[in-house]
């Protein structure tokens, strides 16, 4: 198994470091065997899927083995009438979504680079996307999971039913654990029916601040929207749109309901009826991709209470004046992308975000000496959780909050 | 009688009015809404996290177990002092500390009653989504412990989807803030671990919860069907039509027989199922979805369909579902309420098994269930004065739970494992799964004396017996305490 079908070692480089070897297991048992071996040898492993967030996190304390999960890519069970699906963790997100769409269903998460990222990666990040104001995050859709711990035990939590209080909610522990507690091998999700009609209203604005202000009013005033997004000129251009700033408002459901919602939105936004309403799924994929970290630029992500986005956006234009900006007004997100950033600017922004009840992560281009995640509440418990689940410090040591090592 | 040392120390820490220990006063804390019971030595009522820390310290010094408790409406024995000791009753921490309509959040103490929060939210055009039927008596702290659901969590999710952050005392007496005002708090999702952990990982002393906009319009449909299968098919067709209703509930023939003499609603006693469907949201959406729901309901050959949009009229339609438990007393004085969950499409066959098992044990059974999410609540009816009947009830209950597991389901949808179902947990989890869960409990700092004998099988001095009285809770809190 070792190395077979895996690419060159250099394809698994992280932060300028190559692993000693690559393993691409094709079964849960193989994952168990590998992790048992790796932890017994005192080696450290970084689990990888589509590597779309591989640049995110603190520098690894150690990195010996790349565990490539992409061979575990099967749908285990899709029960369309029960609105549940169980899949292996290495399955690509867009492949799953396409197979669900054949049954008129979808998993309402919008990961960046859906054509590369895997289910395991989506769970490890634990995040919702541009529609998170309407649909929440991974924790709201994940109903069961199996993960292999560094000692080789496969542990399962939750189940395949949509409502469940049987034992501890291990799926929530693994969602958002960034590969530091175990290797997610299988997951069950509940699903949603695809809406009959899905529309996007595009409202031009003279500048980003205006787009944010109008978007906040819309987000606060109109119920049932799926996303309210403001883009500055640079981000709009990157998304294939034009204008100094653009507000995008997404509504989905039955056609007459969407039409009425859009009319109400136009009124709140004081936008002319000439503003166009389009149905453009590709646009939303491009927008999601603009939230992806990459090795070439700095990406700062702020998760915020929605009413605080306006204020943070102003703070950001002072702290990172060069950065291009995208804001999710109903879901409370602000993305800033720049060529470089000073650690002090990030620290100042983080302090303001924390004051507002939010959190700042540096998704890529982490300035030296800075923590990618920020201060975690309950850290003493987190340390003990890490020590219980990964006492050998095998799983991505050093990469997560406070450099948790195990 | 002079107070024991533990009581004197608790009184010194909290004040004399915050401790109960006289045997006659302890009686009410011996049970929740299950048929188990446990006898505590003292009840302590904290007013703050610091008080909770103090109580943990005193109990630890005396080697006594502690058990947290909210409204005492639980349905799995979770609030019982299984090995005696001190019950930490959160009922006096019942302030709504902040309600922020802009952020749509509320900061509450754990003893706040669910409905009180709902009413306060309603004044701002908002709602607190989880609505267990015991909402007039159950507390937010208890809801967090059990990850409480309710009829209206089909579209909006259970408690875990609505708790953002908690102030939390771990079993070692450390106070933490877990989570944050958004889902972006760095680190592991410890809030996600705490919600639904049945009070076995620590004690929540404040909670920041999400509120949702109250729907502009609501429409309720009631369909009467000749068979559960017809009604179940209607449920499947509604879901297939791409509608996610706010609620999808069903009651069966035995339940109809129990409620009709009380409600005099004109329900036919020979009908097998009554289906309740509720849609809510913007008025236009409710109208459009309502038309589809009504069409679907008609396709499955109902005897009758009733609809309502005004709150008063909707309450009438809900009365049969919400008053079901209390009405069961007209058939038999006692009941044993089960909480199983199966994939929704397996409901009809599992229900057939429920009827078959009940018949084999010669027990009447009434069914009321959350049909939309596959959560069934069979009630085995009996008279505890009849010799040997309790054993028969428990055996039948076990067989029904086994059928849920065999159908790919789980052994609790919303009531928890508690004391009652812990011996069934190995049916759905391996030794390694349970081992990892126990490790999570250790990581939170819980030992054998913190809320002992809950969730996990075995445990020192826990025993496995049943015995006690659900009915006293019903008498105390009213009818719908139990679902």
End-to-end C-alpha distance for chain A, whole angstroms: 28
- B158 touches A: beta carbon within 8 Å: yes
Please count the structural domains in chain A: 2
Nearest-by-Cβ selection for A172 from B178, B180, B193? B193
- A361 touches B: beta carbon within 8 Å: yes
Looking at the structure, do residues A218 and A278 belong to the same domain, yes or no?
A: yes
Give backbone dihedrals phi and psi of B234, rounded to 5 degrees, phi first: -65, -40
- A120 touches B: beta carbon within 8 Å: no
CATH of B5-92+460-482, one of 3.40.50.300, 3.90.550.10, 3.40.640.10, 3.30.43.10: 3.30.43.10
Residue B441: its chain A contacts at CB < 8 A? 168
Residues carrying CATH 3.30.465.10, chain B: 96-213
* pLDDT value of residue A223: 86
Question: Is B82 in a helix, a strand, or coil?
Answer: strand
- Residue A62: inside a domain, yes or no? no
Overall average pLDDT of the B447-468 stretch: 80
Confidence of residue B152 (pLDDT cuts 50, 70, 90): confident
* pLDDT value of residue B466: 42
Question: Is B212 in a helix, a strand, or coil?
Answer: strand
Overall average pLDDT of the B354-373 stretch: 95
**Mean pLDDT for all residues in chain B:** 92
pLDDT over threshold 50, residue B475: no
Q: B217-322 sits in which CATH class?
A: alpha beta
To test the contact with chain B by mutation, choose from A124, A134, A161, A371 the residue with the greatest count of B C-beta atoms within 10 A, namely A161
Do A359 and B184 lie within an 8 Å CB cutoff? yes
- Tell me, letter by letter, the H, E, C secondary structure of chain A: CECCCCCCHHHHCECCECCCEEECCCCHHHHHHHHHHHHHCCCCEEEECCCCCCCCCCCCCCCCEEEECCCCCCEEEEEHHHCEEEEECCCEHHHHHHHHHCCCEECCCCCCCCCCCEHHHHHHHCCCCCCHHHHCCHHHCEEEEEEECCCCCEEEEECCCCCCCCCCCHHHHHCCCCCCCCEEEEEEEECEECCCEEEEEEEEECCHHHHHHHHHHHHHHCCCCCEEEEEEHHHHHHCCCCCCEEEEEEEEECHHHHHHHHHHHHHHHCCCCCCCEECCHHHHHHHHHCCCCCCCCEEEEEECCHHHHHHHHHHHHHHCCCCEEEEECCCCEEEEEECCCCHHHHHHHHHHHHHCCCEEEEEECCCCCCCCCCCCCCHHHHHHHHHHHCCCCCECCCCCHHHCCC
Q: What percent of chain B has pLDDT over 90?
A: 80
Q: What is the pLDDT of residues A19-42, one digit of tens each?
A: 999 999 999 999 999 999 999 999
Confidence of residue B380 (pLDDT cuts 50, 70, 90): very high
Looking at the structure, do residues A169 and A298 belong to the same domain, yes or no?
A: no
Q: B331-417 sits in which CATH class?
A: alpha beta
A 50-109 residues with CB below 8 A of B?
79, 81-84, 104
- B426 touches A: beta carbon within 8 Å: no
End-to-end C-alpha distance for chain B, whole angstroms: 40
Residue A404, both tokens: 């948790």
**Any idea what DSSP says for residue B139?**
B
- What ipTM goes with this model? 0.96
Comparing CA positions, the residue from B409, B415, B412 lying closest to residue B343 is B409
Confidence of residue A379 (pLDDT cuts 50, 70, 90): very high
For residue A140, what are the contacts with CB-CB under 8 A and spacing of at least 6?
A128, B157, B161
* pLDDT value of residue A274: 58
- Residue A50: inside a domain, yes or no? no
Residue A196: its chain B contacts at CB < 8 A? 242
* pLDDT value of residue A202: 93
A 251-270 residues with CB below 8 A of B?
253-254, 256-257, 260-261
**A239-244 long-range Cβ contacts below 8 angstroms, 24+ apart:** A239/A283, A239/A286, A239/A287, A239/A290, A240/A283, A240/A286, A241/A202, A241/A283, A243/A204, A243/A205, A244/A204, A244/A205, A244/A206, A244/A207, A244/A208
- Residue A267: inside a domain, yes or no? yes
Q: What percent of chain B has pLDDT over 70?
A: 95
Do A161 and B413 lie within an 8 Å CB cutoff? yes
CB of A196 closer than 8 Å to CB of B241: no
Comparing CA positions, the residue from B74, B145, B151 lying closest to residue B481 is B74
Distance from CA of A273 to the nearest CA of B (A): 20
Question: Is B166 in a helix, a strand, or coil?
Answer: strand
Q: What is the pLDDT of residues B179-206, one digit of tens each?
A: 999 999 999 999 999 999 999 999 999 9
Distance CA B478, CA B474 (A): 5
Q: What is the pLDDT of residues A139-150, one digit of tens each?
A: 999 999 999 999
CA contacts within 13 A on the Cβ side of B160: 32
Looking at the structure, do residues A145 and A236 belong to the same domain, yes or no?
A: no
Nearest-by-Cβ selection for A161 from B243, B342, B437? B342
Cα A195 to chain center, whole Å? 22
Looking at the structure, do residues A214 and A315 belong to the same domain, yes or no?
A: yes
Q: A311 - beta bridge partners?
A: none
CB of A12 closer than 8 Å to CB of A67: no
- A155 touches B: beta carbon within 8 Å: yes
B 360-399 residues with CB below 8 A of A?
370, 373-375
A6 vs A81, higher pLDDT: A81
Cα B451 to chain center, whole Å? 18
Distance from CA of A65 to the nearest CA of B (A): 24
**Mean pLDDT for all residues in chain A:** 95
* pLDDT value of residue B320: 87
Question: Is B81 in a helix, a strand, or coil?
Answer: coil
Overall average pLDDT of the A124-152 stretch: 97
Question: In the listed set A134, A169, A193, which residue is the last one of a domain according to the structure?
Answer: A193
Do A401 and B153 lie within an 8 Å CB cutoff? no
Distance CA B476, CA B137 (A): 10
Looking at the structure, do residues A153 and A208 belong to the same domain, yes or no?
A: no
Nearest chain B residue (CA) to A137: B183
Question: Is B225 in a helix, a strand, or coil?
Answer: strand
Do B444 and A381 lie within an 8 Å CB cutoff? yes
Looking at the structure, do residues A206 and A350 belong to the same domain, yes or no?
A: yes
Looking at the structure, do residues A132 and A222 belong to the same domain, yes or no?
A: no
Confidence of residue B478 (pLDDT cuts 50, 70, 90): very low
Residues carrying CATH 3.30.43.10, chain B: 5-92+460-482
- Residue A69: inside a domain, yes or no? no
- Residue A41: inside a domain, yes or no? no
Q: What is the pLDDT of residues B21-42, one digit of tens each?
A: 999 999 889 888 776 788 999 9
Q: What is the pLDDT of residues B225-243, one digit of tens each?
A: 999 999 999 999 998 888 9
Distance CA B459, CA A152 (A): 26
* pLDDT value of residue A3: 44
Of how many residues is chain B composed?
483
Angle at B276 between CA B271 and CA B278, to 5 degrees: 165
Q: Tell me, what CATH number does A91's domain have?
A: 3.30.465.10
Distance from CA of A353 to the nearest CA of B (A): 11
CA contacts within 13 A on the Cβ side of A214: 24
Query: CA-CA distances (angstroms) from residue B297 to B230, B277, B318?
Result: 9, 9, 17
Distance from CA of B422 to the nearest CA of A (A): 9
Looking at the structure, do residues A247 and A167 belong to the same domain, yes or no?
A: no
In CATH terms, the fold of domain B96-213 is 3.30.465
Give backbone dihedrals phi and psi of A57, rounded to 5 degrees, phi first: 120, 170
- Residue A280: inside a domain, yes or no? yes
Q: What is the pLDDT of residues A239-279, one digit of tens each?
A: 999 899 999 999 999 998 999 999 999 999 988 765 677 77
Looking at the structure, do residues A218 and A181 belong to the same domain, yes or no?
A: no
Looking at the structure, do residues A234 and A356 belong to the same domain, yes or no?
A: yes
Q: Tell me, what CATH number does A355's domain have?
A: 3.40.462.10
Comparing CA positions, the residue from B257, B258, B323, B326 lying closest to residue B473 is B326
Distance from CA of B229 to the nearest CA of A (A): 15
- Tell me, letter by letter, the H, E, C secondary structure of A295-332: CCCEEEEEECCHHHHHHHHHHHHHHCCCCEEEEECCCC
* pLDDT value of residue B37: 81
Nearest-by-Cβ selection for A168 from B170, B193, B239? B193
Do A172 and B412 lie within an 8 Å CB cutoff? no
- B265 touches A: beta carbon within 8 Å: no
Looking at the structure, do residues A118 and A176 belong to the same domain, yes or no?
A: yes
Do A140 and B410 lie within an 8 Å CB cutoff? no
A 12-31 residues with CB below 8 A of B?
none
The angle that helices A255-269 and B283-299 make with each other, rounded to 10 degrees, is: 170
Looking at the structure, do residues A239 and A130 belong to the same domain, yes or no?
A: no
Residues carrying CATH 3.30.70.2740, chain B: 331-417
* Domain boundaries, position A355: 197-364
- Residue A246: inside a domain, yes or no? yes
Nearest-by-Cβ selection for A401 from B186, B370, B433? B186
CB pairs under 8 A between A and B: 245
């Amino acid at each position: 198994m070792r190395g077979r079908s895996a690419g060159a070692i250099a394809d698994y480089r992280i932060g300028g470091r190559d692993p000693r070897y690559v393993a691409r297991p094709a079964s849960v048992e193989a994952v168990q065997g590998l992790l048992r071996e790796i932890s017994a040898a005192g080696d450290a492993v970084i689990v990888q899927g589509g590597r779309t967030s591989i640049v995110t996190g603190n520098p690894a304390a150690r990195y010996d083995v790349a565990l490539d999960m992409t061979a575990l890519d099967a749908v285990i069970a899709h029960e369309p009438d029960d609105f549940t699906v169980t899949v292996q963790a290495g399955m690509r997100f867009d492949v799953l979504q396409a197979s669900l769409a054949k049954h008129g269903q979808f998993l309402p998460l919008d990961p960046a680079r859906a054509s590369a990222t895997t289910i395991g990666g989506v769970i490890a990040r634990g995040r919702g996307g541009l529609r998170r104001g309407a649909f929440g995050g991974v924790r709201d859709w994940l109903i069961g999971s199996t993960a292999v711990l560094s000692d080789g035990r496969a542990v399962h939590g939750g189940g395949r039913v949509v409502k469940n209080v049987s034992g501890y909610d291990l799926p929530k522990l693994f969602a958002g654990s960034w590969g530091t507690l175990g290797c997610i091998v299988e997951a069950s999700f509940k699903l949603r029916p695809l809406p009959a009609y899905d529309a996007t209203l595009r409202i031009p604005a003279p500048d980003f601040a205006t787009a944010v202000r109008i978007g906040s009013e819309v987000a606060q005033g109109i119920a049932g929207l799926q996303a309210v997004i403001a883009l500055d000129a640079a981000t709009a251009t990157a998304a294939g749109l034009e204008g100094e700033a653009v507000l995008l408002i997404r509504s989905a459901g039955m056609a007459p309901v969407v039409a009425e919602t859009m009319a109400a939105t136009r009124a709140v936004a004081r936008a002319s009826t000439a503003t166009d309403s389009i149905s453009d799924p590709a646009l939303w994929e491009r927008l999601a991709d603009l939230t992806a970290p990459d090795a070439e630029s700095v990406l700062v992500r702020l998760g915020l209470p929605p009413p605080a986005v306006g204020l943070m956006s102003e703070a950001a234009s002072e702290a990172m004046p060069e950065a291009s900006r995208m804001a999710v007004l109903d879901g409370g997100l602000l993305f800033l992308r720049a060529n470089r950033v000073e650690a002090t600017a990030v620290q100042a922004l983080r302090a303001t975000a924390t004051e507002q009840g939010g959190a700042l992560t540096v998704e890529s281009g982490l300035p030296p000496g800075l923590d990618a995640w920020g201060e975690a509440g309950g850290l003493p418990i987190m340390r003990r959780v890490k020590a219980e689940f990964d006492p050998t410090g095998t799983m991505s040591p050093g990469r997560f909050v406070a450099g948790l090592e195990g | 009688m002079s107070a024991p040392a533990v009581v004197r120390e608790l009184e010194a820490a909290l004040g004399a009015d915050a401790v109960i220990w006289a045997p006659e006063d302890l009686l009410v804390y011996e049970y929740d809404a299950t048929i188990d019971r446990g006898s505590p030595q003292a009840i302590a009522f904290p007013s703050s996290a610091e008080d909770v820390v103090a109580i943990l310290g005193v109990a630890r010094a005396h080697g006594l177990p502690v058990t947290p408790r909210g409204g005492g409406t639980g349905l799995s024995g979770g609030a019982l002092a299984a090995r005696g000791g001190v019950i930490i009753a959160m009922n006096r921490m019942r302030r709504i500390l902040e309600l922020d309509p802009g952020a749509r959040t509320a900061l509450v103490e754990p003893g706040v009653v669910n409905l009180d929060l709902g009413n306060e939210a309603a004044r701002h055009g908002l709602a607190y989504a989880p609505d267990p039927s015991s909402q007039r008596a159950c507390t937010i702290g208890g809801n967090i412990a059990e990850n409480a659901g309710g009829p209206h969590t089909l579209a909006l999710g259970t408690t875990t989807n609505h708790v953002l952050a908690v102030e939390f005392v771990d079993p070692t007496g450390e106070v933490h803030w877990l989570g944050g005002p958004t889902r972006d708090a760095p680190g592991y999702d410890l809030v996600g671990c705490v919600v639904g952990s049945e009070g076995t990982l620590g004690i929540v002393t404040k909670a920041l919860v999400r509120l949702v906009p109250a729907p502009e319009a609501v429409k309720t449909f009631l369909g009467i069907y000749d068979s559960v299968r017809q009604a179940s098919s209607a449920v499947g067709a509604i879901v297939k039509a791409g509608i996610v209703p706010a609620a999808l509930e069903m009651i069966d023939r035995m339940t109809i027989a129990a409620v009709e003499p009380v409600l005099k609603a004109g329900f036919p006693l020979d009908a097998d199922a009554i289906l309740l469907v509720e849609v809510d949201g913007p008025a236009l959406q409710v109208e459009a979805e309502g038309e589809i729901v009504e069409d679907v309901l008609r396709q499955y050959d109902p005897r009758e369909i009733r609809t309502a949009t005004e709150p008063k009229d909707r309450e009438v339609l809900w009365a049969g579902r919400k008053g079901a438990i209390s009405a069961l007393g007209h058939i038999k004085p006692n009941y044993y309420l089960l909480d199983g969950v199966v994939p929704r499409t397996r409901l009809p066959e599992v229900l057939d098994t429920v009827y078959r098992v009940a018949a084999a044990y010669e027990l009447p059974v009434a069914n009321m269930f959350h049909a939309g999410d596959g959560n069934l609540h069979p009630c085995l009816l009996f008279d505890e004065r009849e010799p040997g009947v309790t054993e028969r009830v428990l055996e039948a209950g076990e067989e029904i739970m086994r059928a849920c597991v065999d159908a790919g389901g789980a052994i609790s949808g919303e009531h928890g494992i508690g004391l009652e179902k812990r011996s069934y947990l190995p049916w759905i989890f391996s030794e390694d799964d349970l081992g990892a869960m126990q490790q999570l409990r250790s990581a939170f700092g819980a030992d054998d004396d913190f809320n002992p004998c809950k969730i996990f099988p075995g445990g020192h001095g826990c025993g496995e017996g049943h015995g006690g009285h659900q009915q006293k809770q019903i008498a105390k809190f009213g009818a719908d305490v139990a679902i």
